[in-house]
Amino acid sequence: MVLKYSTDKLQSLAVESLVLFVPTFEKIRDKSLKELDTASAGGVKTILSSGEFTGKEGEVAAIIRPRGYKAQRAILVGLGEYKKLNPDSFRKAAGTVSRFRGLTTSKTAAFYLGSYENEKFYQAAIEGYLLGGFQLLDFKSRETKENESKLSQITFAVEGQVLLKKVRSAIERGVIIADGQLLVRRLSFTPANFLTPSKLAQEARRLARKYRFNCQVLDEKAISKEKMGGLLAVAKGSTESPRFIVLKYRGSRAAMKSIVLVGKGVTFDSGGISLKDRLNMHEMKGDMSGAAVVLATLVTAARLKLPLNLVGLMPTTENMPSGSATRPGDIVTMRKGLTVEIINTDAEGRLILADTLDYAGKFGPEAVIDIATLTGASLYVLGYAGASILGNNPQLLDRLKNASDFTAEKVWEMPIWDDHRQLMKSEIADLVNSGGRQAGTIAATAFLENFIGDWPWAHIDIAYCDLEPHGKPYTPKGATGFGLRLLVELLSNWKKLV
């Protein structure tokens, strides 16, 4: 995609489609709409009076060949109520128009966001366009491997040179962030026969070389030396050996403590001996979405040159049933030395995360944040709409909420009470890996809490919000890439925790 910028009048822009982002209106007061109405012999008034287009969220309308404009068509896309406009209004509108036939058949277009001077609106607009038009074509045959959109150049029309510099910087940032989220989607969409633990490690190495950060991969022998009993127990049933991926990005002085990001990387989760129901089991290729978010966050941080030191930890394995698989009732010893009674082999994510959280202490971290498709119980807490967050540091959790406000990746804080901690106690070992159906999301986090050191920690459960069941303006049906924008926004505004 070629991006250009212009301060010329809209009428002079030689593009096939001119896209105007328009808030709700009852009368034509905006200068650009008045000019377009005159050029189209009352075309704007006509679609307004008919109710075809009033600027509401999700509305799109086109006016063909307005007189005096070089553009072949003018496309109006609704933002919603003016008083409620925020970056996500532009993200949604751009996502909606990204699939509009009049635009997808054009090779060139110009986007006009109005006279708004908030550069975050422009960042959000390019994010929404790129995310909304996402298509995974990797596994299509040659006959069907064709992108529906022909658009290859977008010119952003800006009012004045003063705003132009800020807009250019914001849009470049938005492209990098959208690329990061699309990387998460691609990895999460990739079938398990194409993305085994070893192949995920290979991809991590490739990206680390490309964007110049460090990648170390521990094989099964090295994992055994680290005494990661949880990770090894989950991997026992698979013919694919596990990998433990360590990423290091240094964007700041050596004395600055690292922020450690931990992502669950189960490349396929059958449930193990506690086999899942066959319905929708194919979606379990995405049980490595947390690891994908961590990998993409390191890539994005490197591309944005964030002034931070980051460590990314990705425990990766399959969870499969076989004669060698871990059984319900088995007891395993974790890296920390705690023993865990396996109640449910489908509660595997917390086992690999627990070893990884303990390993994170090696880095003397300023903070640790883990992100995982951890619990099926999440569906009954927030559905597909957002992620539960829990942790031991109110300031860190508040920062995640602030990042959520801008990115519109919704989070909701939940408590961990002693009642929940008690659910994870075993009569014959130190802990159980499942406390049953009650408070499943919280109880799983209470289990992880046993492996946290003396540092701020937050847990993000992205189960179900990592998938979109129907399709939304900038989120097509399937893997969402949820969490990438949230973490990048958090890290971009990072200040030392008090």
How far apart CA 313 and CA 262 sit, in angstroms, is: 5
Instruction: Write out 179-235 in H/E/C secondary structure.
Output: HHHHHHHHHHHCCCCCCCHHHHHHHHHHHHHHHCCEEEEECHHHHHHCCCHHHHHHH
347: Cβ–Cβ under 8 A, 6 or more apart, which residues? 274, 433, 434, 444
Sign of CA dihedral 124, 126, 130, 132: positive
Q: 367-372 and 457-461 as β-strands: parallel, antiparallel, unpaired? A: parallel
- What distance, in Å, lies between the first and last C-alpha atoms of the chain? 42
Q: Residue 167 carries which side chain, given as an amino acid letter?
A: V
Question: Which candidate in 276, 327, 401, 472 is catalytic?
Answer: 276
Catalytic residue status for 92: no
SS3 label, residue 91: helix
Distance CA 284, CA 282 (A): 5
Which one of the listed residues 350, 399, 421, 485 is annotated catalytic? 350
> Each residue of 148-171: b (16+ CB within 10 Å) or e?
ebebeebbbbbbeeebeeebbebb
3-state secondary structure of 50: coil
How big is the chain, counted in residues?
498
* Strand pairing class (309-319; 331-333): unpaired
Give the whole-angstrom CA distance, residue 1 versus residue 153.
6
What are all long-range contacts of 137-140, with beta carbons under 8 Å and residues at least 24 apart? 138/186, 138/190, 139/191
Residue with tokens 């433990």: 244
| Token couple for 80 | 């919603």
Distance of CA 214 to the CA centre of its chain: 22
Rounded CA separation 264/247 (Å): 14
Furthest-apart CA atoms within the chain: distance in Å: 82
Half-sphere exposure of residue 219: CA atoms within 13 angstroms, side-chain side: 4
Structure letter (DSSP) for residue 8: S
Q: Known catalytic residue: 91?
A: no
Among 120, 117, 251, smallest CA distance to 174 is for 120
**Across 30-143, where does the E strand assignment appear?**
60-64, 73-80, 108-112
Contact 370, 455 (CB under 8 A): no
Distance CA 389, CA 461 (A): 7
The phi, psi pair for 192, rounded to 5°, reads -65, -25
What lies within 8 Å, CB to CB, of 183 at 6+ separation is 292, 295, 296, 299, 481, 484
Query: Cα-atom radius of gyration of the chain, to the nearest Å?
Result: 24
- Active-site residue numbers? 276, 350
